[in-house]
């Protein structure tokens, strides 16, 4: 594998530079004196931000973008070998690294790299840890999978030993990393276009945890099934979080305000504390405990970390308040897995409202087919469900699945469910049916956020 010498900057080309993670890595290398260029299929606020920093961005991926002066080509799992840039890179013999391999190379340059993994909650927990480190003036380098308001984006270039990043299991990307502190928030079925089954996924997380050195630390959810299979033979220090007395960090006495934000009693090795969050739901109680445990491993006083985490108001597209129209509250959320949907909608139940409307855009055909019944069960928590077409992302519909199949399941269950093929129809329906006091959530990992923004006139 190609090894980067950060003392000898080179020309690095990013294929797919407009992605949330790729743009961040490009910015890190640019800050280290590397010549950086790249391409993406369409212009965006992220590509514009890179261009404003002096990074050359090509819109459209074509052979002529790849020039002989490029020393390293970086790609993502979404790039196929029939991509014209890939073909030209191969013809010219230019070395290449995947996005994950490059991230691993970057991690080697920090004394305390922290990697946050799990099927759900990575962006929120990464953001919580980031806010704590920032609030303690520890000058971290951050790579977040969402837009963090306090840093005005998804990336921050620091000058200390701390490097914080999300660690995604898809295509085993996180096995290219070199963490000293690793978090495993949960382990569930997802990305079934890559993994064979839950055992395959669990084995991947075990391999990730095994990357930790003997003096490293694993922070892991104590509610994961058969936890000993993951932790039993690890040489590193292990800390659990959860809702059982046996967990290193555990919560009791959880209560919620009218916005579903929790207050709870935290029990940890340093004592018992009251924690009040400004983000909703039981799942964020778990995320906050993982973040607070990580903070103590960074020698941050628990009382200071609790205060800072209480000031955290979330990231973009994580139960994000978008506005109100006609006394209808509009929330946007990134949830695209049945467990995430259930967590978000159960959180919404604690939010003061009359009826709960959810506009859901399924994400990828394989995920929709694999979890069709689970999606229906989770969505049925809402009073009214409106379905958009499936967001294809990297896939083509070779399996004959559609949102109408999900609608049929929900109707069989007795739910009030509608399907519309266009955003305009969804918007018109919501404007007609929602009334004062209702809560409307746009939900999914695609572009469904546009519906709520259009309703609000944003």
Indicate which residue of 122, 131, 248, 344 is catalytic: 122
- Between CA 426 and CA 419 the distance in angstroms is 8
**Helical ranges in 136-213 per DSSP H:** 198-209
What whole-number distance in Å separates Cα of residue 213 and Cα of residue 108? Answer: 13
Catalytic residue among 101, 131, 166, 189: 166
Give yes or no for a contact between 74 and 102, defined as CB atoms under 8 angstroms apart.
yes
39 and 85 Cβ atoms separated by less than 8 Å: yes
- How far is CA 337 from each of CA 326, 363, 366, 445, rounded to the nearest angstrom? 30, 9, 12, 9
Asked if 167 contacts 179 with a C-beta cutoff of 8 angstroms, the reply is yes
Query: How far is 17 from 12, CA to CA, in rounded Å?
Result: 11
Beta bridge partners of 249: 241
Catalytic residue among 47, 76, 123, 296: 123
Beta bridge partners of 386: 359, 418
In contact, 243 and 234? CB cutoff 8 Å: no
Strand bridging mode 112-117 / 162-166: parallel
Cite the DSSP H helix spans in 45-98.
45-52, 84-92
**Residue 198 burial class via C-beta count within 10 angstroms: exposed 0-12, middle 13-18, buried 19 and up:** middle
Q: Using CB atoms within 10 A of its CB, is residue 69 exposed (0-12), middle (13-18) or buried (19+)?
A: exposed
| Residue 122 known to be catalytic | yes
In the Cβ-directed half-sphere of 129, how many Cα atoms lie within 13 Å? 35
Read off φ and ψ for residue 148, nearest 5 degrees: -100, 115
Give the DSSP letter of residue 173. Answer: G
Tell me the two tokens of residue 329.
Answer: 């509250």
For 319, residues 6+ apart whose C-beta sits below 8 A from its C-beta are 279, 280, 281, 331, 333, 344, 347, 348
Report whether 275 contacts 306 (CB < 8 A).
yes
Q: Tell me, yes or no, if 123 is annotated catalytic.
A: yes
Identify the bridge partners of residue 266 per DSSP, sorted by sequence position: 251, 273
Alpha helices in 247-371 (DSSP H): 282-297, 302-310, 338-349, 365-370
Active-site residue 231, yes or no? no
CA distance 97 to 28: 16
Catalytic residues: 122-123, 166
């Amino acid at each position: 594998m190609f090894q980067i010498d950060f003392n000898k900057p080179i020309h690095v080309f990013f294929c797919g530079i407009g992605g949330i993670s790729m743009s961040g890595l490009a910015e890190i290398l640019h800050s280290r004196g590397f010549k950086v260029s790249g391409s993406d299929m369409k212009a965006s606020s992220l590509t514009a931000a890179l261009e404003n920093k002096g990074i050359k961005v090509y819109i459209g991926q074509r052979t002529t973008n790849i020039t002989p002066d490029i020393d390293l080509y970086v790609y993502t799992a979404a790039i196929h070998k029939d991509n014209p840039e890939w073909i030209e890179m191969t013809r010219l013999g230019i070395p290449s690294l995947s996005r994950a391999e490059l991230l691993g190379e970057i991690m080697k340059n920090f004394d305390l790299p922290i990697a946050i993994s799990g099927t759900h909650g990575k962006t929120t927990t990464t953001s919580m840890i980031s806010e704590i480190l920032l609030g303690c003036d520890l000058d971290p380098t951050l790579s977040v999978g969402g837009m963090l308001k306090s840093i005005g984006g998804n990336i921050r270039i620091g000058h200390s030993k701390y490097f914080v990043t999300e660690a995604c299991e898809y295509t085993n990307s996180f096995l290219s990393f070199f963490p000293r502190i690793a978090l495993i928030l949960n382990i569930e079925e997802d990305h079934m276009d890559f993994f064979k089954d839950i055992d395959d996924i669990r084995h991947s997380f075990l391999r990730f945890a095994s990357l930790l050195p003997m003096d490293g630390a694993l922070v892991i959810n104590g509610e994961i099934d058969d936890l000993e299979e993951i932790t039993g033979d690890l040489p590193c220090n292990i800390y659990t979080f959860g809702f059982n007395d046996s967990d290193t960090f555990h919560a009791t006495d959880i209560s919620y305000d009218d916005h579903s934000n929790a207050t709870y009693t935290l029990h940890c090795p340093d004592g018992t504390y009251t924690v009040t969050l400004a983000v909703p739901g039981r799942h964020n109680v778990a995320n906050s405990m993982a973040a607070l445990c990580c903070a103590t491993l960074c020698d941050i006083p628990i009382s200071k970390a609790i205060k800072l985490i209480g000031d955290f108001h979330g990231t973009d597209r994580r139960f994000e308040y978008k506005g109100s129209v006609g006394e209808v509250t509009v929330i946007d959320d990134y949830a695209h897995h049945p467990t995430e949907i259930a967590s978000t909608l159960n959180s919404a139940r604690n939010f003061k409202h009359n009826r709960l409307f959810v506009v859901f855009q399924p994400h990828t055909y394989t995920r929709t087919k694999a979890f069709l019944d689970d999606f229906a069960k989770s969505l049925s928590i809402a009073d009214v469900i409106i379905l958009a077409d499936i967001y294809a992302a990297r896939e083509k519909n070779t399996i004959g699945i559609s949102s109408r199949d999900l609608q049929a399941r929900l109707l069989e269950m007795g739910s009030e469910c509608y399907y519309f093929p266009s955003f305009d129809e969804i918007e018109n329906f919501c404007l007609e049916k929602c009334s004062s006091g209702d809560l409307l959530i746009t939900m999914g990992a695609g572009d469904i956020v546009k519906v709520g923004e259009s309703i609000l006139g944003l």
